[in-house]
Amino acid sequence: MFARSLALALVFLVGWVIFARPSSGSLRPAHYVVKPHDTLWTIASRYYGGDPREGVWKIQERNHLSGAIIRVGERLVMP
């Protein structure tokens, strides 16, 4: 009985080690370099599906932007 429980625990432990994955929070954030004629709206439209207003807001919050002004060459962290 003890051997069966120990074997089951060992199988569970080996399975957990094989299939465990790091969380997505450990990934490095993606960056975007602003190109000529880019706006927050066009960047959000490209990277977020549906209504880009939420994407614009996320980009502004993540990069601590007080408005919608971005400059060519500026490096934005994408949320």
The better pLDDT of the pair 63, 21 is held by 63
How far is residue 41's CA from residue 6's CA, in Å, rounded to a whole number? Answer: 58
The DSSP secondary structure of 43-73, one letter per residue, reads: HHHHHSSS-HHHHHHHHHHHTT-SSS---TT
The owner of tokens 């190109």 is 35
Domains plus CATH for the chain? 25-79 (3.10.350.10)
What pLDDT, on the 0 to 100 scale, is given for residue 18? 75
| Cβ neighbours of residue 15 closer than 8 Å, sequence gap 6 or more | none
| pLDDT tens track for 16-60 | 667 776 665 556 778 999 999 999 999 999 988 888 999 999 999
The phi and psi torsions of 75 (rounded to 5 degrees) equal -100, 115
